[in-house]
Chain A
Amino acid sequence: MTTTSPVEKAGGATATYVDERVGSNKFLSRNLGKVFPDHWSFMLGEIALYSFIVVLLTGVFLTLWFKPSMAEVVYDGSYVPLKGVMMSEAYDSALNISFDVRGGLLLRQMHHWSALIFIAAMAVHMFRVFFTGAFRKPREFNWLIGVGLTTFGLLAGFSGYSLPDDLLSGTGLQIARGIVQAVPVVGTWAAFLLFDGEFPGTEFISRLYGVHILLIPGLILALVTIHLMLVWTQKHTQFPGPGRTNDNVVGYPLLPVYMAKAGGFFFIVFGIIALVGGLVTINPIWIFGPYMPDQVSAGSQPDWYIGFLDGALRVMPNWETIIPGVGWTISWNIFIPALVVPGIIFTVLGLYPFIEAWVTGDKREHNLLDRPRNAPTRTAFGMMAITFYVLLWVGGANDIIAVAFDLSINSIIWFLRFALIIVPPIVFVVTRRTCLSLQRRDREKLLHGYESGRILRLPHGEFIEVHQPLSEKDLAVITAKHDYVPLPAPDKADADGVRNKKYRAQMLRHRLSEFFYGVNVPKPSAAEIEAGQHHAAHDAELEAPLHEYEDDDQIRTFHGGVLHHPGMPETNAEQLEQEHRS
C-alpha cells in the first residue's frame, strides 16, 4: 500500500503512543499470531466461558433490586394471586423484579438459564476433555482446576436457587440442612452454625447472598483465569491429521481468524440465552409461593445439576443405626447418598489423570488427542460413569416420571436400585467392544482401503467389491494411533535373589495396565499399510473402464455396474425381449 489513509495514520499513531509507554507491540506481535487448532468440540469450553459472562452481567442487574433479607413483609405488588400474603423480603423483592421492574423477568430468566447452560457446558466440555485424553500430561493441573470449577459451579447454582426464598428454595435448603446434619459427629453443630440456630432462622439468606454474589463468582473468575492462561501457555491440543504432530499446532492465527470466530460465537451464545430467557419460563417462583417450613409441593426438584444428589437420596434404602449406649443416630440413608457417593464421584474425577498415568506408566507428553475408540478402556469407563450419573438423575425425577408415564414410583425406585449396580458394567463391556470393532474397522481400512459398496463383475465373470485407497487425511488420522504395551510383570526377586519388596504393588499395577491396554487391536505395520493401499488402488484401476463410459447414457454408473458394451441389454426385460426376437 502506498497511500496511508487518515484512519490508519491515527491508528498507527495510537499504537506507537501506547507501545512507547507499555511496550505492547512486542507482546502483541508475539501473541496475536498465536495459532489455535480448530474443531467444533473445542468450542464447548467457550460456551461455558460466554454463558458465565452472561451470568455475571445479568447477576449484577439483579443485585440492584434483590433484598437478601428474611424480614417479614406483606406483599403489595402487582401479582394478584399473592396480594396480602406474608412473605420474606427476599421473596418479595424477587417478585418485584419479576413483575414490577422493567425487563426484570427477562433478566431473571436469562440469569437462571445462563447458569444452567454454564454448568451444562462445563460438563460437556469435561466429557470432551476426558474422552479425547486431553487431560494427560502436561495438562493434569488444568483438569484439576476444571474439577474445581465444576464444584464451584454447583455451589453457585445451588446458592442462587436458594436465594429467592420460594417454596422450592426452602425445600432445597431444608434438605441441604439435613445433609449437613448427617455428617458424623459435627453435623448438628455445623448446621446450627450455618443457619444461626434452628431452621430456617432469619440469617441464612443474607449469609448465602454474600457467598453467591461475591465469594463463589470470585473463585470461579480466578480459576477461569488460571485455566485459560494454562491453555494459552501449554497451547491447545489438536486431533491427529495430515501434518499434525505432537510438537506442532496446526490451525488459525488468533488474529483475525480465531478472534472473529470467538467473538461471533459469543454473540450467538448471548443471543440464544436472550431468546430463551425471553421465550421460555424458568423457575416461576410466583406459582410456588413463599417458603413456609410446614409446606411442601409434590414434585419438588432441584435444578438439573443437583438432580443426581436428589436421585441418590430418593433411591437409597432407609437405613439408620443408633449407636447403643450414647444414643447417637447415624443416618446412612442420608450419609451415603449425599456425602459418600458425591465424595467418591468427585475424588475419582479429580484423580483420574493421575490414576490413569500410574496404571499405564505413561510419562510422555500428549499434545495430540486420542480418538475415543483408541482408548477403549478409558472410553468405556467414562460411559459407565455417565450411565451411573444419568440413572441417578432418573431417580431424582422419579415422581414426575411416574405421573408422566403412568408408572408406580415404587417400581421405579426398585428398578433403579438394581439398575445402578447392573447397568453401568454392561455399558462398560458394550462400549469397550464397540471401540474395539471400530479399531478393527480402521485396521481393515488400512489393509484394504475403503469398501466402496460398488460391486464389479470382471470380464471373466468374477464379482469383486471395489476398494478405494484412503484419502490423505483419513490415512493420517488412522495411522496416528499409538499401540501401547502393558507394563511387564514384575519379578519376585532380582538376579541376585534379593526379594522384590514392591512385588504386590507392581503386580497390581501390571494387572491394571494389562486390563487397560490388553484389548488393543494392533495397527498393521507400515509395509502392510503400503501394500493394502496399493491393492486398493489396483481395484480402482480395474474399475476405470467403467468410468470411461460415465457420460455414455447406455452405461449404468450407479451401484452394481457391469463392464458393459453398447448394444447389450440393460435390464432383464430387455434381455428377454432380445432373446425372443432372435
Chain B
Amino acid sequence: MKFLAARRRSPIVASALLVGALAVVGGGYAALGSVQPAEAALAVGSQTQVEKGEQLYLEGCSSCHGLKGEGTASGPTLVGVGAASVSFQVSTGRMPLAAPGAQAPAKAENPYSEDDIAAMAAFVATLGPGPAIPTAEQLDYASADEAYGGELFRINCAQCHQAAGQGGALTQGKYAPSLMDATPQVIYEAMLTGPQNMPVFSDAQLPTEDKQAITAYIMGLQEASSMGGLNLGRFGPVTEGVFLATAIFAALIAAAVWIGIKSR
C-alpha cells in the first residue's frame, strides 16, 4: 500500500499528511482528556475522616509520596490523582509499594481496612481535584448490556488485557494484569484513574453506562462456564499447542508403542 501511495504522491506529501492527521487526532484526544479533572467532583470527606487519613498517610505513604503528597524520588505526586486512585491502588494491594520494580504488583492482602482506605482517599482528595470513588449506583451493572460491553471491551481493553481478559505483556517487563479477580469497583476505578500504562477512560470517552456494560462483560467472562470443556487457561493457541505436544502426543505415542509390543 505504502508503495502505491508513494507512486501517486511524493513521500514528503505523504508524511506531511500523516503528521497532520496525527496532530488532529492527538489534539482532539488531548482536548477530550483534559475535560476530566474539571468534571471530577472534589469529594472531600468529613474532617475527622480526613485527619485519620492524614495520619495513616504520614505513617505508611509519605516516605515515598512526600509529606504533602508532592512526590519524592521514590514515588510520584498524589496531588490531583483523586480518591478513586487511592482506593484502587490500596485495595488491590499495589500500595504501599513493597519493593521497586517494573510495576507495582497487585497483592491478595493489603494491611488496611475499608475505613482506613476511605480515610486515606478522603485525605488525598483534599490535595487536589481528581476522580472520586464510584458510587454504588455507578457500580450497579445489573441492567447493563453485556454484548455491547463486549464490543467496547474488544475496542478499548483487549489489546492489552487479551480478548478473554487473561492479561498480556507490555514492554520492559510491564504487563496488563488478568481481570479474572477484578471486582466491579476495581474495574470502574481502573478505568477512571488509568493506573500505570493504562489510559484514563474519562466519562467523556466512556460514559457511566458504557463502563457498566464493560463491567457486565468482564463479570460474564469471570463467571462463564467453559463451553468446550477444559479451557486451558484461555490463552489461545499457545497453550493448545503445549497440550498437543504433551498430553495428546504422549497418548498417541504410548498407543503406538503398545501396539508395537503387542505383536510379539
Q: Indicate, yes or no, whether A interacts with B.
A: yes
Residue of A nearest to B217 (CB): A81
Q: Is B10 on the interface with A (CB-CB < 8 A)? A: yes
CA distance A1 to B199 in the complex (A): 87
B161:A327 contact, CB within 8 angstroms: no
A47:B252 contact, CB within 8 angstroms: yes
Q: Is B204 on the interface with A (CB-CB < 8 A)? A: no
Q: Is A202 on the interface with B (CB-CB < 8 A)? A: no
Interface residues on B, range: 35 or more
Interface hits, B126-178 → A, CB 8 Å = 145-148, 150-151, 154-155, 158-164, 166-173, 175-176
From the candidates B3, B163, B262, name the one contacting A329 in the complex (CB within 8 A).
B3
A120:B166 contact, CB within 8 angstroms: no
Q: Is A304 on the interface with B (CB-CB < 8 A)? A: yes
B217:A40 contact, CB within 8 angstroms: no
Residue of A nearest to B262 (CB): A261
- Whether A38 contacts B263 in the complex (CB less than 8 A), given A299-B168, A304-B240, A408-B172, comes out as yes
A188:B245 contact, CB within 8 angstroms: no
Q: Is A7 on the interface with B (CB-CB < 8 A)? A: no
Chain B residue numbers with a CB within 8 Å of A292 are 154-155
Q: Is B255 on the interface with A (CB-CB < 8 A)? A: yes
Chain A residue numbers with a CB within 8 Å of B168 are 297-299, 399, 403
- Whether A402 contacts B169 in the complex (CB less than 8 A), given A40-B256, A292-B154, A295-B159, comes out as yes
Chain A residue numbers with a CB within 8 Å of B253 are 40
- Besides A281-B232, A284-B234, A400-B239, 6 new A-B residue pairs in contact (Cβ under 8 A), listed by A number: A81-B150, A117-B252, A280-B230, A280-B243, A295-B154, A409-B172
A297:B230 contact, CB within 8 angstroms: no
The segment from A212-220, A265-273, A434-442, A551-559 that touches chain B is: A265-273
Q: How far is the CB of B237 from chain A (nearest CB, A)?
A: 4
A298:B154 contact, CB within 8 angstroms: no
8 shortest A-B CB distances, which residue pairs?
Answer: A298-B168, A281-B228, A304-B241, A408-B173, A40-B260, A297-B163, A402-B169, A43-B256
Residue of B nearest to A116 (CB): B244
CA distance A495 to B158 in the complex (A): 77
A400:B256 contact, CB within 8 angstroms: no
Q: Which residues of A contact B (CB under 8 A)?
A: 38-41, 43-44, 46-47, 80-85, 98-99, 105, 109, 113, 116-117, 120-121, 124, 167-168, 181, 187-188, 191, 252, 257, 261, 264-265, 268-269, 272, 276, 278-284, 286-289, 292, 294-304, 307, 322, 326-329, 396-400, 402-403, 406-411
Q: Is B20 on the interface with A (CB-CB < 8 A)? A: no
Chain B residue numbers with a CB within 8 Å of A288 are 163-164, 236
A304:B237 contact, CB within 8 angstroms: yes
CA distance A47 to B173 in the complex (A): 41
A281:B245 contact, CB within 8 angstroms: no
Q: How far is the CB of A36 from chain B (nearest CB, A)?
A: 10
From the candidates B102, B158, B217, name the one contacting A408 in the complex (CB within 8 A).
B102
Q: How far is the CB of A293 from chain B (nearest CB, A)?
A: 12
- Whether A280 contacts B229 in the complex (CB less than 8 A), given A38-B263, A410-B172, comes out as yes
Residue of B nearest to A105 (CB): B228
CA distance A278 to B226 in the complex (A): 12
CA distance A99 to B228 in the complex (A): 10
A295:B158 contact, CB within 8 angstroms: yes
Residue of A nearest to B6 (CB): A327
Residue of B nearest to A413 (CB): B171
A40:B169 contact, CB within 8 angstroms: no
15 A-B residue pairs with Cβ-Cβ distance under 8 Å, sorted by A, are A81-B150, A82-B147, A280-B232, A280-B243, A281-B230, A283-B237, A289-B151, A296-B158, A298-B160, A302-B237, A303-B241, A307-B241, A399-B169, A402-B169, A410-B172
Chain A residue numbers with a CB within 8 Å of B159 are 295-298
Q: How far is the CB of A193 from chain B (nearest CB, A)?
A: 13
Residue of A nearest to B228 (CB): A281
CA distance A82 to B150 in the complex (A): 7
Chain A residue numbers with a CB within 8 Å of B150 are 81-82, 85, 289
Chain A residue numbers with a CB within 8 Å of B251 are 272
Q: Is B1 on the interface with A (CB-CB < 8 A)? A: yes
- Whether A121 contacts B252 in the complex (CB less than 8 A), given A329-B3, A409-B169, comes out as yes
Q: How far is the CB of B157 from chain A (nearest CB, A)?
A: 9
Chain A contact residues: helix, strand, loop or mixed: helix
A83:B147 contact, CB within 8 angstroms: yes
From the candidates A272, A299, A326, name the one contacting B255 in the complex (CB within 8 A).
A272
CA distance A264 to B260 in the complex (A): 12
CA distance A230 to B11 in the complex (A): 56
Residue of B nearest to A85 (CB): B147
Chain A residue numbers with a CB within 8 Å of B229 are 109, 278-281
Q: How far is the CB of B263 from chain A (nearest CB, A)?
A: 5
Chain B residue numbers with a CB within 8 Å of A44 are 256
A403:B169 contact, CB within 8 angstroms: yes
Chain B residue numbers with a CB within 8 Å of A287 are 163-164, 221, 234
Chain A residue numbers with a CB within 8 Å of B238 are 299, 301, 307, 396-397, 400
Chain B residue numbers with a CB within 8 Å of A188 are 1, 3-4
A322:B11 contact, CB within 8 angstroms: yes
CA distance A40 to B10 in the complex (A): 64
Q: How far is the CB of B93 from chain A (nearest CB, A)?
A: 16
Chain B residue numbers with a CB within 8 Å of A399 are 168-169
CA distance A300 to B10 in the complex (A): 35
Chain A residue numbers with a CB within 8 Å of B158 are 167, 289, 295-298
Q: Is B60 on the interface with A (CB-CB < 8 A)? A: no
Q: How far is the CB of A408 from chain B (nearest CB, A)?
A: 3
B263:A167 contact, CB within 8 angstroms: no
CA distance A120 to B241 in the complex (A): 10
Q: Is B27 on the interface with A (CB-CB < 8 A)? A: no
A40:B147 contact, CB within 8 angstroms: no
Q: How far is the CB of A2 from chain B (nearest CB, A)?
A: 32
Q: Is B73 on the interface with A (CB-CB < 8 A)? A: no
CA distance A252 to B160 in the complex (A): 58
B240:A116 contact, CB within 8 angstroms: yes
Chain B residue numbers with a CB within 8 Å of A280 are 228-230, 232, 243
